[in-house]
Amino acid sequence: MVIPCFNAAPTLPMQLEELFTQEDAPSFEIIVADNRSTDDLDAVIAVAVPPPGVQVRFVRADAIAGAGYARNVAMAAARADRLMFCDADDVVSRWWVAHGIQAFRDAEVWSGSCHPAPDAAFDGGVDAVRALIDDSPDWLPSVREQEGTAFPILMGGDFGATAEALRRIGGFDVTIPAGGEDNDFAVRAVRAGYPAVSCKVARIAYRQRREPRARAREAVRAARTHALLANRFGLWDRSHFRNWPSALARTGAAAGRMALRPRAEQDWWAVGTRAAVAAAVGFDPRSARFIRAQYVSLAHALGRDRDLDARVLPVLWELAIRARATGVPWWETVRMTWRARRGAPTMKAWGYRTALALIPRR
């Protein structure tokens, strides 16, 4: 069991309690991967008392910030041939391990089900959360409800994979914007021959963000990841956001309808989030011509052939989306991309060299 952690000392004890009280589960190991925590996470692990048959191991994953990197470090440290993943601020069901083990009979990679709950629901303790998610030992066969989906969904906080599948897929891409690494993993898993399988009975209670600002940030990050994946894997023609101008127009119409509602029913954060999502997804096609012009200018200045390498422009477009997701200005993206390809030893170029290396050769 892999649990990536960042400042999870307040929430990890409840998740550990749930894992310590699993029913019908075989012996297993819990790997807690600390990703740059500044709280007393070490103390939480030190006082944890696992039952017989359960071991807790603590590993540090400090080199790169992000849950994806922490999961990769834990994968490398794991000794088992089947791994299950959960998050430190959620709560798994009483039969989560048992159901996950059974799901491995149907698939080498599977994703569980998520039941959103407000923070207040977790104040009642493990038993209250179990009742909330309708916890049950009953087994239901796994399903392939995402068959043929261009953008399959896998929940990084509730899934399982064999060690061999993780090696073949390549783990998590640590350069993907936060919160989107699991969707990138899902696309690569399907392309590697592992269908998107859902195990509905592998349930977790998920802490749902209630603040409008936090929900808006999550939606925008998801939109940018969608654009990144559509560009990387050539999926724009199958994206439901491919006509982003019409999405913006529909957002304007939604704003007009919202203005006609009574003030108590108005939700302008929802309208703003919808507009931000459409704009974020539309960044890639809008910026393509501009990025191409910048590259042509650089190529001409360097005396290179103006017939561009077929792999160069997709790389630049991907980096442009990464720049939007990380806050790097577009001109810095273009300049650092050029310096990275020339091998210039700058502090920032290493990240772009890494991104270039991740682009599959065609």
- Per-residue pLDDT tens for 231-251? 778 787 887 766 666 777 777
**Per this entry, what is the length of the chain?**
362
* Confidence at residue 154, expressed as pLDDT on a 0 to 100 scale: 93
Tokens (6 digits) for 35? 């990703």
Q: What's the pLDDT tens digit per position in 71-96?
A: 999 999 999 999 999 999 999 999 99
Half-sphere exposure of 76 (CA within 13 A, CB side): 12
Q: How confident is the model at residue 305 (pLDDT cuts 50, 70, 90)?
A: very low
Residue written as tokens 């993907």?
Answer: 176
Strands 54-60, 28-34: pairing is parallel
Q: What's the pLDDT tens digit per position in 237-286?
A: 887 766 666 777 777 888 888 888 888 888 776 777 677 666 666 654 44
Tokens (6 digits) for 113? 């089900």
Tokens (6 digits) for 127? 């038993």
